[in-house]
Structure 1
Amino acid sequence: MKLSVVALIKLGYRYIKLWPNRAELVQYFPEYRIIRFARMVLNVAPGLAFLSLALQISLQPINGLVIGLFYFILLLSMPLQALVMLGVKADKVLPPSLASWYKEGVARYNQQGGKEKLSVHKPRYIDLAQLLNMTYQQSLK
């Protein structure tokens, strides 16, 4: 499905919020590492951007503004790039092996009295994140 950049950013943000922060997922899903890195970039990059701008201006008062703005824009674009890439990943259809595992998980979730209905027609990575999130929330109760 063709999405705009703004829609990709929103989908990436939703994907990063839905993905459970559970260390045991690192064994099964490479997305866990990507999500952890993206969360770190979202937290750290804005502070680094302001720090680099302030340092460049204080070290080189004349040329520091231009160089500082360059680094500022570069560092501020990193979280947006991460969200766009996660939005692209979230919109992809699951591979057949993972899709069958997802469908089994949805059936098990529904048998245990799951309240939300999940899509089993062409499941995407965002659907997988939602299933994992709901499963872990249900296991905590």
Structure 2
Amino acid sequence: MKLTVLEIISLGRKYMNLWPERAELEEYFAEYRVVKFSRLVCKIIPGLALFCLIMQLYFGSMGVLPQALLYSLFLLSFPVQALIFMGLKADKFLPPALANWYKESVARVNQSGGDIKLSTQRPRYLDLAQLLNLTFNNRYSSQ
């Protein structure tokens, strides 16, 4: 699918927000660590960029403004890069073994009384995140 950069960033944010924050997923999905790190980058780096800008302007001389802006823009590019990476990953198709597990899980949930309307034809990582989100929200919200 051809996506614009803004659509990729939006998809990355959606993917990052859909992935459940459950520590037990770390054992089974390497993606969990990447999503967790991306969330940390998106949360911490903007404040760090602002702090660097203010400190350089406060302690620097008059000609430090271009350098301070450059450092801040460089730091602000990290969350954008993380969102782009997440968006590109969310748009990729699942590998065959994971796709089979995904299809079996959707079928199992639907057989047990659930009504999940997720893609079973060539599922993507975004579909996996939606399945995990639905599963963990339904399973653990009732307990």
Number of equivalenced pairs? 141
Give the Å deviation of 1:70.
0.7
Structure 1 segments of 4+ aligned residues over 6 angstroms from their partners: none
RMSD, aligned α-carbons:
0.9
Q: Are 1:58 and 1:64, in contact at CA under 8 Å, matched by a contact in 2?
A: no
Q: Are 1:53 and 1:68, in contact at CA under 8 Å, matched by a contact in 2?
A: yes
TM-score by length of 1: 0.96
Does 2:53 match 1:38?
Answer: no
Does 2:4 match 1:4?
Answer: yes
What is the alpha-carbon distance in structure 2 between the residues aligned to residue 30 and residue 63 of structure 1? Answer: 45
Q: Give 1:116-135 correspondences, 5 Å limit.
A: 116-135=116-135
Please state whether the residue corresponding to 1:63 is helix, strand or coil.
Answer: helix
Does 2:93 match 1:77?
Answer: no
Identity %: 52
Q: Which amino acid aligns with 1:61?
A: S
Structure 1: give runs of 5+ residues left out of the alignment.
none
Structure 2: give runs of 5+ residues left out of the alignment.
none
C-alpha distance after superposition, 1:68-120 (max 9, x if no partner): 10111011111111001000000000000000000001001111222331110
